[in-house]
Copies of this chain bind each other. A is one copy, B any other.
Amino acid sequence: MGQAVKAYERLAQRFERMAVLGEASSMLGWDASVMMPAGGSAARGDQFAVLASLSHEMLIAPAVADDLAEAQSSPLEDAWQARNLALMQRAYLRATALPTSLVEAMARANTSCEKIWREARKQSDFSMVSAALTEVVALTREQAQALSPVLQLSPYDCLMDGFQPGIKAEDVTPVFKAYRAFLDGALPKVEAMQARKPKALALQGPFAADQQEALCRALSLRAGLEADHSRLDRSTHPFCGGIPTDVRITTRYDESNFAKSLLGVMHETGHALYERGLPAAWIRQPVGSAAGMAAHESQSLIVEMQACRSDAWLGWLSQELATYFPKEGAALAPANLALLWRRVERGFIRVDADEMTYPAHVMMRFELEQRLFSGELQVSDLPEQWNKALHDLLGITPPDDAHGVLQDIHWYNGLFGYFPSYTLGAMAAAQLMQAARQADATIDEAMARGDLSPLLAWLRQQVHSKASFYGFNDLLRSATGKPLAPEDFTAHLTRRYLQD
C-alpha cells in the first residue's frame, strides 16, 4: 500500500470516529427534544459541547494537515475515495479557517439572540432583538469573510456552501427570477379558478392523537421505512433525527385535524428514507453522507408534495382514511382531500404556505440576506424591507412583525444562506419526479395502490445511493440529465393547479 493510500486510510478512520461522536450527539439531540425532562437540559448542553469540541479537536489536529497533503500526493484510483478526500479537505478548511475565539463568540451570540427572539416574537417587537441580531450578523459576516479566501467563494456563497455544497448565489438567482415571472402570471389565474370551484367539506373530528399516530406510523412503514430501523414519536417541532440505521421521526398531533401530522410525517419519512438509502459501504465518511440541505429537502418533498398530494395516492388514501375515521364520510373523498390539501393562498407565514407561494417567501429572504451581507441593508432596515418585499411579491402586508420579520428562527440563530435550500429542494423534487416517471411508467399506478416502492427504488438508485459523490447540480444532472431548472417545477404546478 502506497504512502498516499495509507494516509487516506488514516483520515478515513479519523472521520469515522468523528462521525460516531456525531451519531452520539444526534441521538442525544433526539432525546432532548422527545424524552428529556426539563431538569436535564443543563447537563445535556455540556454533553453536546464536549462531543462537539472533541470532534473539532480531531478535525483540526496537525496530523490531519499532514495526512491530507500526503494523501493528495498521488491520485487515488477509486473515484469515491477521491471525492471523499476532497470532502475531507473541505471540512478541514472550513474548520481551520475560523479562529476558536470567533466560533465561541458565534455560539454565544446565537444562543443569546435566539433566546431574546423568542420573547420578541411573543411581543411582536423587533426592536427588542435588533441589537442582538446586529451582533449575530456582524459575527456571521466575519465568519463569511474568513472563509471566503480559503474556499475561494464569495462571502455569501461560503454561507450557502455550509448548507448545500456546490450551490452559489449565481446558480440560484436566475432560477428564482424565472420562478418570479411564472408566479406573477400563475397566481391570479389559480385564485380565479379556485373561486369557481365548490367549497371543500370540512373534516369534523375529533381525531384522537393515538389513532393519528397509528395511522401515521402505518403510512410511514408502507412508504418503505422499516420498523426495525425507525421510530415515530412526538415533539413540539417535528423533525427527522437519529442515524441512518436508526432514524427517529417526530410529529405533533392536532386532534381537530389529522392532515398536519399525516402530511408532516410523510415529509419526515422522505428525509428518513434518504438516510436509510445512503450506501452502507461509505457510512460515516463525508462522501457517504446526504448531499446537503437542498438534496435532503428534495427527498422529503418528493414524498410529501409530489407523491402524497398526487391524485393517484390521494385516491388510495381516501379509502384508507375511511377505515380509520368512518364518520367523516364524503369529506374523505379524493376530490375533497385535494380541495383541502392543495389550496393556494397568499399568506404571511412561510411554514404555512402552499407549494406555489412558498418560493416567494424564500426568494424575498434570499434577496434580503444578500443585501444585508453586501452592506446595502442594516439590521434596523429589516422590518420595513421585509414588509415591502412581501408586498412586492404577494401583494399583502404583515399586520405586525410576529407575522413578518420575526416569524422564522433562522437568522436569530445565525443561519444565513439556508433558506434557498427549501425551494431548491421543492424544485429538485419536481425535476426528480418527472425523471422518475419517465424512467418507470408504473410509478403512478403503484401510487394509486398506496405503493411507493417503484418511486423509492428509482430514488434509491439515482439519489440515495449517490450520497455526496456529486454536488447538488451534478446529482441532478446524473439523475435527470440536467442541472436544476425551474421548468419541471412550474410544469408540475401548472398541471396540478392550472388545469381544470
Instruction: List the interface of chain A (C-beta within 8 A of B).
Output: 17, 20-21, 23-24, 27-28, 31, 35-40, 42-44, 46-47, 50-51, 54, 226-231, 242-243, 245-246
Contact = CB atoms under 8 A, between A and B. Distances in A.
A94 to B, nearest CB: 23
21 contacts: A17-B50, A20-B47, A21-B51, A23-B43, A24-B51, A27-B47, A28-B28, A35-B35, A36-B246, A37-B228, A37-B229, A37-B231, A38-B228, A39-B226, A39-B228, A40-B242, A40-B243, A40-B246, A43-B243, A43-B245, A43-B246
A28 B42 CA distance: 17
A18 to B, nearest CB: 9
Contacts of A227: 37
A256 B43 CA distance: 39
A42 B243 CA distance: 12
A230 B44 CA distance: 14
Contacts of A242: 40
- This protein's copies in its complex: 2
Given A28-B28, A42-B245, A54-B54, A23 B47 contact: yes
A35 B230 CA distance: 10
Contacts of A21: 50-51
Given A43-B245, A245-B42, A28 B37 contact: no
Which of A23, A28, A40, A228 has the most CB atoms of chain B within a 10 A radius of its CB? A40
A457 B472 CA distance: 61
A302 to B, nearest CB: 24
Contacts of A245: 39-40, 42-43
Contact of A24 (B17, B24, B228): B24
Contacts of A35: 35, 231
A37 B231 CA distance: 7
A197 B147 CA distance: 83
Nearest to A34: B35
Nearest to A38: B228
Given A35-B35, A37-B231, A40-B243, 13 more contacts: A21-B51, A24-B24, A24-B28, A24-B50, A36-B246, A37-B227, A37-B229, A37-B230, A37-B246, A39-B226, A40-B245, A43-B243, A43-B246
A83 to B, nearest CB: 23
Nearest to A36: B246
10 tightest A-B CB contacts, nearest first: A40-B246, A39-B229, A39-B228, A20-B50, A24-B47, A38-B228, A43-B245, A37-B228, A39-B245, A20-B46
